[in-house]
């Protein structure tokens, strides 16, 4: 059954709200250490939460249509990484890329596409048993720096970073970490492990969450 373009039924809105609520619950569990357990005690250490108060940021660009992300470029880190769509694991949490592919970034494929309105979620490992992984230096990014996402429609979405936070897993708020900051804006979240490595649990004590928003398209 089709609907008039631009209109949403009350039932569809309810389903969307319920789906987002379930996703936030799963992410809350993931943020407390349900998934993405590191294989080694190596890590970048902790950083303080960073805001954009002292940085002049560009205005937000109009959101794009949905398209599958193919590659993510973070020039400041020298990262050019392929992107794979990921779903939820058997426990209902976001499934990160396999440890055997430490240079790959996972995108939550059932959620927002990077460049579309809403908050797109991308996860990557900080390290493996033997070496640093794709998001090892994620916590060193600064507000005002750029992330580019190459999409399947041929467009390259340019995002400007407006916040970097290290959130302890003991007091984790998934809505605050992963939910949209401004309604109608195209936003991006880059997520990895951070804090100290707990040898007992075999996981890190925090999550690094980089927030960015769409500011244009280009090469």
Residue range 65-77: average pLDDT?
A: 97
Question: Of 43-57, 103-117, 137-151, where does mean pLDDT reach its minimum?
Answer: 43-57
Residue range 210-217: average pLDDT?
A: 98
Residue range 74-93: average pLDDT?
A: 88
Q: What is the pLDDT of residue 53?
A: 59
Q: What is the pLDDT of residue 161?
A: 98
Q: What pTM does this model have?
A: 0.77
In percent, how much of the chain has pLDDT > 70?
Answer: 72
Q: What is the pLDDT of residue 51?
A: 53
Residue range 48-66: average pLDDT?
A: 80
Domain ranges of the chain: 10-217
Distances (CA, A) of 184 to 69, 123, 214: 20, 23, 11
Computed over every residue of the chain, the mean pLDDT equals 79
**Beta strands at 79-86 and 69-74: parallel, antiparallel or unpaired:** antiparallel
Nearest to 110 by CA among 218, 27, 200, 203: 27
Q: What is the pLDDT of residue 43?
A: 40
Which of 31-35, 49-53, 83-87 is most confident? 83-87
In percent, how much of the chain has pLDDT > 90?
Answer: 53
Q: What is the pLDDT of residue 5?
A: 35
- CA–CA gap between residue 143 and residue 211 (Å, rounded): 9
120-176 pLDDT, tens digit each: 999 999 988 888 999 999 999 999 999 999 999 999 999 999 999 998 877 767 777
Q: Which CATH class is domain 10-217?
A: mainly beta
């Amino acid at each position: 059954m089709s609907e008039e373009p631009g209109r949403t039924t009350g039932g569809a809105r309810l389903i969307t709200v319920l789906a987002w609520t379930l996703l936030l619950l799963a992410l809350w569990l993931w943020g407390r250490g349900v998934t993405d357990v590191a294989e080694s005690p190596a890590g970048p250490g902790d950083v303080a939460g960073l805001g954009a108060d002292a940085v002049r940021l560009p205005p937000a660009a109009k959101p794009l249509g949905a398209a599958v992300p193919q590659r993510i470029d973070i020039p400041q880190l020298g990262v050019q990484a392929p992107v794979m769509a990921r779903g939820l694991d058997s426990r209902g949490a976001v499934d990160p890329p396999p440890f055997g592919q430490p240079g790959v970034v996972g995108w939550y494929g059932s959620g927002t596409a990077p460049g579309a309105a809403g908050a797109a979620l991308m996860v990557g490992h900080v390290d493996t048993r033997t070496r640093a992984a794709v998001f090892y230096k994620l916590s060193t990014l600064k507000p005002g720096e750029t992330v580019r996402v190459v999409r399947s429609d041929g467009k390259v979405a340019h995002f400007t970073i407006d916040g970097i936070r290290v959130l302890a897993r003991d007091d984790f708020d998934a809505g605050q970490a992963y939910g949209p900051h401004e309604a109608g804006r195209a936003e991006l979240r880059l997520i990895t492990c951070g804090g100290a490595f707990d040898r007992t649990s075999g996981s890190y004590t925090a999550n690094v969450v980089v927030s960015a928003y769409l500011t244009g398209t280009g090469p």
